[in-house]
Amino acid sequence: MPDQVKNDVMSSSFEVSLDRLQEIVTQLEKGDISLDMGLQLYKEGMLCARSCKEQLQKARHEISVWQNGEETPFEQQIANICGVVAES
Amino acid sequence: MFRQDVAILSVSALTEQLRYKIEQTFPFVWVRGEIANYKVTSAGHIYFSLKDRDAQLQCVWFRGQQSALRKGASFDPLTGEVYENSAPALELSEGLEVLCAGQISIYAVRGQYQMIVELVQASGEGAQALAFEKLKQRLAAAGYFALERKRQLPRNPVKIALLTSPTGAAIHDFLKLAAPRGYGSQIRLYPVMVQGNEAVKSIVSAFALANAQAWADVIVLIRGGGATEDLRVFNDESVATAVFTSTLPVVAGIGHEIDTCLTDMTADVRAATPSHAAELLWQHKNVLFQKIDELEMSLQYMIEQKFRRVVQTVEANVRALQWHSPLQRVQRGDEQCIMLQQRLFASIGRLIAERTYRLQLAGQKLPDLMRGHLERYTHVLEKYETALHAYDPNTPLQRGYAFVQTKDGATLRSIGQTHAGENLQIVLHDGSLEVSVENVFAKKG
């Protein structure tokens, strides 16, 4: 697989990767593509799956607070409030 | 004037009739008024008047009916259904405005109509409940709760405007349930007051701000459980209107599951609790992991299938190719030659045998056929001979017949062929006679 595709996949958002994975599976299901193409899609699909899993593992909600006309991070307060960050 | 035909009633009878009529007409009514002449007897019965500017109504509240007073009770002003809650017991006192419910009856002893009270409610509370109902109906009529205007939540929203108190239980529950869900959203908290006098204003302006920023995919308004009084903010018309007019979809999770308020009813999606709001927004990561695993397995299966098909095709082609190779063709030609040769030999042998047999068969048949033919012809000859004999002119002569000839040898068939004096010859079987015709006689008749 060209490095460009690889980079693209690994830098795509979770949702884009998941959609692409779904699309690849659908395309392979149709079965009217060459082995070469199938193999390429397979590699890309596995990469998408890996990217999705990694992103999902790392995914954290970012919490900020909007006060007095500006946005400030809320991490510390959240940690204090319910230990979400510490837990996950 | 005294009239015989009119029944005369006793006071008791009349009063009884009146009591019956009045009790039938007012079996259960709500009356609002101010308490006056408040008295509690030693037996625990309460006597008072309800009065307004122009009238007053005697009331008696018997001890047996006062459980509501003691334990504290509430009621639904529309259905009259009474249910207990934890509100403090009502302290009745002179001048207090109350809502009383009960039956209107007549106290015969004093010839006085009165209310037998079953429930007493602080007037303000009842008014509030009525006002709530009116507001609810008005908002319903304005389409606040209409299902057709409810918007769908975006799937796994990434930008959340969270309107709640930064220190309440609600944000704690919400974030705790949010942590293992979704795939990383941005949650922007707009701190608001969720009870007290400033709450309505703070919520309404937070709605305005979030909508003006138009940053979020969805607005989430949450508040933990509390007393009915604490949740009053979320029955406020301004708050409901802020939800109703919000251009961003709104999820509301107010109080516990049993609490339903106008804000909940107006929101696009009603969450039973703040935790439930988080569950509605995002799928659990486990579900997402499972989905990815399933897709991965499909991918694996598909590519294996593809390989299997390709291998099968290659094998089929190899077989086809081998079939058409020159060596295979020569071999196949040899085999064919040998086979044809064998077939040829076999068929020639068969042919010879068959012909020989047929020849033998013919040889056997020939003498029989010849004999048959000869016999047939002999028989025919004999037949002809017999027939020929029958036609021999000499044969009848043997039996005594004769025939007559002229001198020149013509056979005489009629008397017309001769005449008297002619010489004729009569032929017999053993010779002939020469005679002369004396007379000619024609046959008579």
- Going by pLDDT thresholds of 50, 70 and 90, the confidence category of residue B195 is confident
Asked if B175 and A82 touch (Cβ cutoff 8 Å), the reply is yes
Render each residue's pLDDT in chain A as its tens digit; 88 residues: 677 777 777 778 888 999 999 999 998 888 788 888 888 999 999 999 999 999 999 888 888 998 888 888 876 555 555 444 433 3
* Cα separations in angstroms, B364 against A74, B135, B353, B356, B360: 127, 131, 17, 12, 6
Percent of chain B with pLDDT over 70: 91
Considering only CB atoms, which chain A residues are within 8 Å of B292? 18, 21, 49, 52-53, 56
**A51-55, B286-290, B329-333, B336-340, range with the lowest pLDDT:** B329-333
Model pLDDT, residue B72 = 46
B186–A64 C-beta distance less than 8 A: yes
Identify the residue with better confidence: B93 or B35. B35
B171–A21 C-beta distance less than 8 A: no
| Distance in angstroms between the alpha carbons of the first and the last residue of chain A | 34
DSSP state of B217: S
Residue B379 pLDDT > 90, yes or no? yes
Model pLDDT, residue B92 = 79
Facing A59 at nearest CB: one of B171, B183, B306: B183
B183–A15 C-beta distance less than 8 A: yes
Identify the residue with better confidence: B76 or B177. B177
Residue B383 pLDDT > 80, yes or no? yes
A81–B172 C-beta distance less than 8 A: yes
Question: Measured between CB atoms, does B367 come within 8 Å of chain A?
Answer: no
Q: Is B326 exposed, middle or buried (0-12, 13-18, 19+ CB in 10 A)?
A: exposed
- Distance from the Cα of B201 to chain A's closest Cα (Å) equals 16
Considering only CB atoms, which chain B residues are within 8 Å of A56? 183, 285, 288-289, 292
Facing A62 at nearest CB: one of B187, B298, B310: B187
Residue B374 pLDDT > 80, yes or no? yes
- Going by pLDDT thresholds of 50, 70 and 90, the confidence category of residue B238 is very high
- Going by pLDDT thresholds of 50, 70 and 90, the confidence category of residue B88 is very low
Question: Measured between CB atoms, does A11 come within 8 Å of chain B?
Answer: no
- Going by pLDDT thresholds of 50, 70 and 90, the confidence category of residue B214 is very high
B310–A81 C-beta distance less than 8 A: no
Residue A27: name the closest of A12, A18, A37, A17 by CA. Answer: A37
Query: What distance in Å separates the CA atoms of residue B282 and residue B181, rounded to the nearest whole number?
Result: 6
Q: At residue B288, what is the residue type?
A: L
Considering only CB atoms, which chain B residues are within 8 Å of A34? none
Residue B10 pLDDT > 60, yes or no? yes
Considering only CB atoms, which chain A residues are within 8 Å of B285? 56, 59
| Joined tokens for residue B348 | 């020639």
A88–B179 C-beta distance less than 8 A: yes
Question: Measured between CB atoms, does B294 come within 8 Å of chain A?
Answer: no
**What is the number of CB-based contacts under 8 A between chain A and chain B?**
116
**Averaged pLDDT, B18-44:** 90
Question: Measured between CB atoms, does A47 come within 8 Å of chain B?
Answer: no
A15–B156 C-beta distance less than 8 A: yes
Percent of chain B with pLDDT over 90: 47
- Distance from the Cα of B189 to chain A's closest Cα (Å) equals 5
Residue B282 pLDDT > 90, yes or no? yes
Identify the residue with better confidence: B134 or A87. B134
Model pLDDT, residue B15 = 93
Best A61, A62, A81, A87 member to test B by mutation, with max B CBs in 10 Å, is: A61
Beta pairing, strands B56-61 & B73-75: unpaired
Asked if B218 and B158 touch (Cβ cutoff 8 Å), the reply is no
Model pLDDT, residue A75 = 62
**Averaged pLDDT, B399-417:** 88
Model pLDDT, residue B55 = 93
Q: How many CB atoms lie within 10 A of CB B260?
A: 15
| Joined tokens for residue B15 | 């009063």
B384-393: pLDDT as tens digits: 988 888 788 7
Residue B260 pLDDT > 80, yes or no? no
Number of residues written out for chain B = 445
Would you call B178 helix, strand, or coil by DSSP? Answer: helix
B295–A45 C-beta distance less than 8 A: yes
Long-range CB pairs of B78-81, under 8 A, 24+ apart, other chains included: B78/B133, B80/B28
Best A39, A55, A57, A63 member to test B by mutation, with max B CBs in 10 Å, is: A63
Considering only CB atoms, which chain B residues are within 8 Å of A46? 296, 299
- The residues near B380 (Cβ < 8 Å, ≥ 6 apart) are none
Compute the half-sphere exposure of residue B435: CA atoms within 13 Å on the CB side of its CA: 15
A42–B292 C-beta distance less than 8 A: no
Model pLDDT, residue B151 = 92
- Distance from the Cα of A25 to chain B's closest Cα (Å) equals 6
B299–A62 C-beta distance less than 8 A: no
Residue B70 pLDDT > 60, yes or no? no
**Averaged pLDDT, B27-51:** 89
Mean pLDDT score of chain B: 86
